[in-house]
Structure 1
Amino acid sequence: MKKPTLPVLDLSLLDGAASERVNFLKALRSAARDYGFFYLVGHGLSAAEQKGILDLARRFFGLTEKEKMEVQMANSPHFRGYTKMQGEITRGKPDMREQFDIMNEQPALAPSLINEPWQRLYGPNQWPAALPGMKAALLDWQQRLSDITVRLLDAFAEALEQDPAIFAENVAAGPYQHMKLIRYPGRATGASSQGVGAHKDPGYLTLVMQDGQSGLEVETDKGWISAEPIEGAFVVNIGELLELASNGYLRATLHRVVSPPEGVERLSCAFFMAARLDSRVPLLSLPPHLAGEAKGPQSDPANPLFFEVGENVLKGRLRSHTDVAARHYGDLIRASA
């Protein structure tokens, strides 16, 4: 196996001897500051369990077009369901991927209880009738990934010498959850190589599970590098909310996915964790010896990202999924015209 291009961190060391815990926290802080990306092992999810989820993704994408379109995202004002090839937009260009999105499983709010447009994001997921076991499997997997990200968030608080409960209000009763099953087809001759365009993730943390096919690339000071799949490992990256909260210490990094070559497909599962939509993001006060190591821009407490979490999530969804926007948010589009 090639030498990893990104740091490899073992989460199980958090439960090890005191010296192992200290070394893990130091490595976590360094990886997140210098790269904004790292591989995570020792997370407790077996290779067999990971393969089971990717096999489920393969079965879903193997359904007929009719079966997949029965749960198309355009049906859902909550942005849940299937998106066909080139159905999502990144930086103004369509992505060459198809995907299936779920979020926190919850009832939609009654219209009389909706005071802000972003509250329309609350709601149930869509599930394909052809795969009756998919709901239980994916909701369980999403929760297990969420638990890992909450543990990492707590570790970041400790690594940055913060109150252990600094993020507690943000994720009380569960953080904002968003998971995608994704299929990237082989690139036909002359077709766009944009599996996903270059972007930064908006939330706190992202976990990516890859099959054996490379494609994920990370921008570094020395150019773009490939985050080659490592069996059993998740790729973790920092989102913009965590960069803001840490006053630029933790780094949100541009990344992209390049389509696989013709005749090859790539499957992945990405999980995004953020603050609850109705919460306020804390601005951490770092001790001087850490504040001096920050490489990112200093945060402005007046930045609306700190206190308009739900509104900013909705804005991102509307930009990325114009079909959902047109069908369910026409009132907002007309109001902003």
Structure 2
Amino acid sequence: MENLVSTWSKTTKILPENYIFPIDERPGSAEVSLCQNIPLIDLSGSQSQTVQEILHACQEFGFFQVINHGVSEDLIDDTMKVVKEFFDMADEEKAKLYSIDPMKRCKLYTSGYNYANEKIHFWRDNLRHPCHPLDEWVCLWPEKPTNYRDIVGRYSLEVRELSLRMLELIREGLGLELGYFGEELTGGQFLSINHYPQCPSPDLTLGLPKHADPNLITVLLQENVYGLQVFKNEQWLGVKPLPHAFVVNIGHQLQIISNGKLRSAEHRAVTNSREARTTVVSFIHPYQETLVEPAKSLIDTKVPLFRPFKFKDFLKFYEEKKGDTEAMMEVYKIKP
């Protein structure tokens, strides 16, 4: 529990050495421009136009922002409020969920998946728990704040519905058969709630390092504090937070299913010295035993780009490679 950044960072003025990244991985002091052409998609528009906009964004960027998405603004505000209240609670309350066990399903921890084996730690604390089916997992969630389970439960249901809606639009854009993204591919969902405290030297460390998500599709809610950067064309682009908008990004599984037609988005989280930043991230992923492979209708030359695998094996290798996108894709690519 004493390892939580939010527990000890309030009184430190010097960044500990085990939080300082190698020079070539640091964000540095140079300004990263907020990108002006990141796709912003209005989901209230015509379906045919929305399908084409999402498909283009998934091919060109691997991510986009959505507005008029159907999740109520009041629920979004309440969710952000209650998760911030969780991180503001007394240490003895948070200690009830703190764990260093990488296998524990609902837990509060710090940095990455395995703190004890890390050479460099990330400047973040994280609350993570499964949320589908809700009635199976909600009993493991935080009991305090007292309205956490109610608010976050309703939020997880609405964001899941939004995620499945966007997968249906992507399915249509790719020309896949109806029902392609069924329960086997989308039955898993968990929430990852990140808290990045104020940092004395944001140029030397990272909240999260460069990575792409191992799942199918990710929906991120960020408060009005800048910190998300996306890697495109060998440069970092800043993503400006928009009130009540969601950031959506493609994960490795969707890149593989699309046989490389869509791209998973590499991104990172930077910190700042002025204020803390909190994000709520929903991940949709296949069941552990699900066989993932390129959709047969998308194999242009009768030769798939990627070999089949079980999702659980992909996850294990992802953790071993610490999210290294190039290393991951090379292993699963079929060599000509």
Does the TM-score normalized on the shorter chain lie above 0.5? yes
- Selected match of 1:299 from 305, 312, 326: 305
Q: Find the aligned partners of 1:319 and 1:70 in 2 and give their Cα distance.
A: 31
Q: Find the aligned partners of 2:74 and 2:246 in 1 and give their Cα distance.
A: 14
Letter in 2 for 1:232: H
Instruction: Tell me the TM-score normalized by structure 2.
Output: 0.76
Deviation at 1:124, TM superposition (A): 6.7
Match of 1:164 in 2: 178
Letter in 2 for 1:103: P
Match of 1:97 in 2: 124
Deviation at 1:183, TM superposition (A): 1.1
Query: Which SS does the other structure have where 1:74 is aligned?
Result: coil
1:287-326 alignment, distance < 5 Å: 299-302=305-308, 304=309, 308-313=310-315, 316=318
Match of 2:87 in 1: 61
Match of 2:206 in 1: 194
Query: Which SS does the other structure have where 1:194 is aligned?
Result: coil
Equivalent pair of 2:61/2:265 in contact (CA under 8 Å): yes
Deviation at 1:196, TM superposition (A): 0.4
Letter in 2 for 1:9: I
1:70-89 alignment, distance < 5 Å: 70-74=96-100, 77-84=103-110
Query: Which SS does the other structure have where 2:140 is aligned?
Result: coil
Deviation at 1:51, TM superposition (A): 1.4
Q: Find the aligned partners of 2:264 and 2:95 in 1 and give their Cα distance.
A: 34
The percent identity for this pair of structures is 20
- Selected match of 2:278 from 267, 272, 279: 267
Q: Find the aligned partners of 1:158 and 1:150 in 2 and give their Cα distance.
A: 12
Match of 2:54 in 1: 28
Equivalent pair of 1:35/1:251 in contact (CA under 8 Å): yes
Alignment deviations for residues 280-311 of structure 1 (CA, whole Å, 9 cap, x no partner): 235224569xx69xxxx962234x2xxx1134
1:182-331 alignment, distance < 5 Å: 182-189=194-201, 192-221=204-233, 223-260=235-272, 262-286=273-297, 299-302=305-308, 304=309, 308-313=310-315, 316=318
Q: Find the aligned partners of 2:121 and 2:78 in 1 and give their Cα distance.
A: 29
Deviation at 1:319, TM superposition (A): 8.1
Q: Find the aligned partners of 1:199 and 1:175 in 2 and give their Cα distance.
A: 23
Equivalent pair of 1:102/1:125 in contact (CA under 8 Å): no
Query: Which SS does the other structure have where 1:93 is aligned?
Result: coil
Query: Which SS does the other structure have where 1:22 is aligned?
Result: helix
- Selected match of 1:7 from 24, 39, 49: 39
Query: Which SS does the other structure have where 1:130 is aligned?
Result: coil
Q: Find the aligned partners of 1:259 and 1:101 in 2 and give their Cα distance.
A: 20
Of stretches 149-158 and 197-206 in structure 1, the one that deviates more from structure 2 is 149-158
Of stretches 238-247 and 213-222 in structure 1, the one that deviates more from structure 2 is 213-222
Q: Find the aligned partners of 1:71 and 1:318 in 2 and give their Cα distance.
A: 25
Letter in 2 for 1:269: V
Q: Find the aligned partners of 1:41 and 1:182 in 2 and give their Cα distance.
A: 22
Q: Find the aligned partners of 2:125 and 2:85 in 1 and give their Cα distance.
A: 13
Q: Find the aligned partners of 1:23 and 1:106 in 2 and give their Cα distance.
A: 32
| CA shift in 2, pair 1:128/1:163, >3 Å | closer
Letter in 1 for 2:201: T
Match of 1:324 in 2: none
Deviation at 1:279, TM superposition (A): 2.1
| CA shift in 2, pair 1:310/1:133, >3 Å | same
Equivalent pair of 1:209/1:269 in contact (CA under 8 Å): yes
Q: Find the aligned partners of 1:215 and 1:268 in 2 and give their Cα distance.
A: 10
Q: Find the aligned partners of 1:146 and 1:195 in 2 and give their Cα distance.
A: 25
Deviation at 1:189, TM superposition (A): 3.4
Letter in 2 for 1:80: C
> RMSD across aligned C-alpha pairs, in angstroms?
3.0
Structure 2 residues not aligned, in runs of 5+: 1-33, 323-336
Q: Find the aligned partners of 1:106 and 1:74 in 2 and give their Cα distance.
A: 25
Equivalent pair of 2:55/2:170 in contact (CA under 8 Å): yes
Letter in 2 for 1:257: A
Letter in 2 for 1:93: I
Instruction: Tell me the TM-score normalized by structure 1.
Output: 0.76
Alignment deviations for residues 9-35 of structure 1 (CA, whole Å, 9 cap, x no partner): 12223xxxxxx2211111111100000
Equivalent pair of 1:217/1:257 in contact (CA under 8 Å): yes
Query: Which SS does the other structure have where 2:275 is aligned?
Result: coil
Q: Find the aligned partners of 2:304 and 2:83 in 1 and give their Cα distance.
A: 40
Letter in 1 for 2:42: D
Q: Find the aligned partners of 2:138 and 2:144 in 1 and give their Cα distance.
A: 18
